[in-house]
Amino acid sequence: MIDKSWESEFRERLSAVYDEMKWLYAELYHNDEQAFDYYCKMLHDYYRARSAELKKWDAERSKNPDWYKGNDMLGMQMYVNCFAGNLKGVEKKLDYIKECGVNYLHMMPLMETTEGKSDGGYAVSDFRKILPELGTIEDLARLSGKCHKKGISVCLDFVMNHTSEDHEWAKRAKAGEKEYQDRYFFFDDWTIPNEYEKTVPQVFPTTAPGNFTWCEEAGKVVMTQFYPYQWDLNFANPVVFNDMTANMLFMCNCGVDIIRLDAVPYIWKQLGTNCRNLPQVHTLVRIMHMAADVVCPGTLLLGEVVMEPSKLAPYFGTVDKPECHMLYNATTMCTMWNTVATKDVRLLRHQMDTVFSLPKEFIFLNYLRCHDDIGWGLDFDFLANFGMEQVAHKKYINDYLKGAYWGSNSRGELYNDDPRLGDARLCGTTASLCGIEAAEYENCEWKEEQAIRLDLMLHAFLFTQTGLPIIYSGDEIGQLNDYSYHDDPLKRDDSRYIHRGNMNWEDAEKRHDAGTRQGRLFEGIQKLLAIHRSFRLFDDDADAWTLDTWNDHVLGIGRYKDGEKLLALFNFSENDQTAWINEEEDYTDLMTGEPREAKAVGIPACGFTWLYHSFNEGGKTV
């Protein structure tokens, strides 16, 4: 239904997508016209509630819908409490964030949760309230406004697969209200849950085995794919979808520009399937995309889909019918750490070939580390060509990166270790995994030199990829592992807290001291960022490919746009190496500004080289 009394701008936006939206909604919800009419009215309510300032922001973004593409974006991810205590604290640190070159700020979940049952903020008990210790909705709106004035976009997680068992809906379901039990997956006994268990994989088989939990208050079984206190929502119920879309738009009206759709592949369940990546998921995301286009067209949807890039494509949708604007590139991240452990770039090159073969319209969010663990979703079929067996290989890379392998300077900890299956994930800060922690503990100068060089090389690799680079707060100064979580009874069973430590502001004060680890990393990353922003060949629509270096320790990447060419060479070995390339043009080393031949290029241990050539008359001053 389109009401003629609605504002002309709203009617025009809704009319542009109305037929498709109604058709998809009807297909999903069996022609429930009453629910769809409610959906349209709800969109209008949030359009009307949107502030004049945010509508102006929408208009500016609509003039440049590709604002998030290009070579000028840099993201930073943080936990608000760890970074600055609360939202007002972050507001006071905006100058520091801007100094880091950041124009995309991702704050980890802020919404209300229950202490001890929060899963790092991903068990939401109220989608309209900020955790009291972090601030208020008004604080979020004010911070977003301050960010916008500094040209910083704000990203926030939208946990849409489940709620906390302490959410109002869950409380009423526990009390026996059928309307609210229908918002989840409740069963009178274990018959149907046991059928689901035959085909649905377990998310956390060691810390939270199974996909269902007995709810004593309701006397029924409820679906809980992640943790027992996280109840899966039933998106086959249109009331759930309508209300969850409203919760998303509420966040947008608080000034959030990028909505990170958490665990999006899980949101539709169907008996007899693995309840992952089902077609209905794409229908839901497409409708949400259209809803944002109608209410807040300056908004982006970022999908958290942990799959290899070649299988991510459906979540982008199509050019005519887009779904997510951006997706996480988790596979490249874990393949990179595999390469740090093995010193062998063949799998990483294979991975980059896959990414570079995808359409340029696909924008990935690239990162070295994030709030989560490193799960080894590697291409083990490819590794089998080199005699590498999955269980043994995972054990090796975990042993190496936790420092249990002879000669390794990495310092990490295992997460969800399952000795029965020979499987585990890994946690640790970028600096500690690169060996900086071990070098400083041993007071070994040459080890620290090499570890810092590795850290900067990985950041150079991050900036060389196609997509939006994002750094984890503290990485800009080489923050080390925080082992204090072992003494906290609410955290000690979750090793992910090892890299979620509080920001060390005393270390941050050293960021301009070139004689310190903090200064070397901060200034080094700033130099990389400045170069990245100076050359259009780092744009997302540039041509990109891998190079034959004839050395399994050295990854080579080429980039080209508008007559400018880059050869990027990354040495993952702890020894000096040679990239056996033989290019005829004259090149300049972007890091030194000195001329350099692209023939048999020597690269120091754990180092990199960016070689630049311009085919344009007069070239470009480096």
262 given a catalytic annotation:
yes
Per-position b or e across 357-391, b if 16+ CB within 10 A of its CB? eeeeebbbbbbbbbbbbbbbebbeeebeeeebeee
CB-count exposure of residue 578 (10 Å: 0-12, 13-18, 19+): middle
- Catalytic hit among 165, 262, 323, 437: 262
Identify any residues that bridge with 570 across adjacent strands, giving them in sequence order: 555, 608
User: What 3-state DSSP class applies to 232?
Assistant: strand
Q: Rounded to the nearest 5°, which phi and psi values hold at 532?
A: -55, -40
Distance from C-alpha of 342 to C-alpha of 14, rounded to nearest angstrom = 53
On whether the CB atoms of residues 576 and 564 are closer than 8 A, the answer is no
- Catalytic hit among 166, 304, 373, 476: 304
Sheet holding 543-547, edge to edge: 543-547, 554-561, 564-571, 608-614, 577-589, 595-603
Distance from C-alpha of 397 to C-alpha of 388, rounded to nearest angstrom = 12
Distance from C-alpha of 605 to C-alpha of 81, rounded to nearest angstrom = 37
On whether the CB atoms of residues 553 and 578 are closer than 8 A, the answer is no
Q: For the beta carbon of residue 600, count every other beta carbon within 10 angstroms.
A: 11
For residue 271, give every residue at least 6 positions away whose Cβ sits within 8 Å of its Cβ, in sequence order, or none. 192, 195, 196
- The conformation of residue 201, written as its DSSP 8-state character, comes to P
Sheet holding 220-223, edge to edge: 186-187, 220-223, 212-215
304 given a catalytic annotation:
yes
Distance from C-alpha of 119 to C-alpha of 164, rounded to nearest angstrom = 10
Q: For the beta carbon of residue 170, count every other beta carbon within 10 angstroms.
A: 26
Helix orientation angle between 330-342 and 445-464, rounded to the nearest 10 degrees: 150
Q: Which amino acid is at 41?
A: K
Indicate which residues carry an active-site annotation. 262, 304
